[in-house]
Amino acid sequence: MTDQERIIITSVWNDMSLRMKLEDDPYSLTQDELKALQSNDRFNTQLKGLLKDAFIRKGLLQARSL
C-alpha cells in the first residue's frame, strides 16, 4: 500500500486512533499521520457542505410542489 492510499483510507474511515493519539501525545504523530488528519478534516467539511446543499435543494423542491 502506498502512502497516498493509506492517507485516503484514513480519510474515508476517519481513523479515531489517530484522533486519540493527537489528544494524548500530539508530538508523536508523523507527518503522514498529520496529513491524514488534515485530509479527513477537509473531507468532513466538504461532506457537510454537500449535505447542506442537498437539504436546501430538497426543501426548495418541496416548497415548489405546495
| Confidence (pTM) | 0.66
pLDDT band at 8, cuts 50/70/90? confident
Question: With helix as H, strand as E and coil as C, how does the chain read?
Answer: CCHHHHHHHHHHHCCHHHHHHHHHCHHHCCHHHHHHHHHHHHHHHHHHHHHHHHHHHHHHHHHHHC
- Taking residues 14-30, report their average pLDDT: 89
Domain interval for residue 61: 3-65
Please give the tally of structural domains in the chain: 1
Query: Per-residue pLDDT for 7 more than 80?
Result: no
What is the C-alpha to C-alpha distance for residues 58 and 61, in angstroms, rounded to an integer?
5
What is the C-alpha to C-alpha distance for residues 19 and 34, in angstroms, rounded to an integer?
10
Q: What's the pLDDT score for residue 14?
A: 64
Tell me if 36 sits within 8 A of 10, measured CB to CB: yes
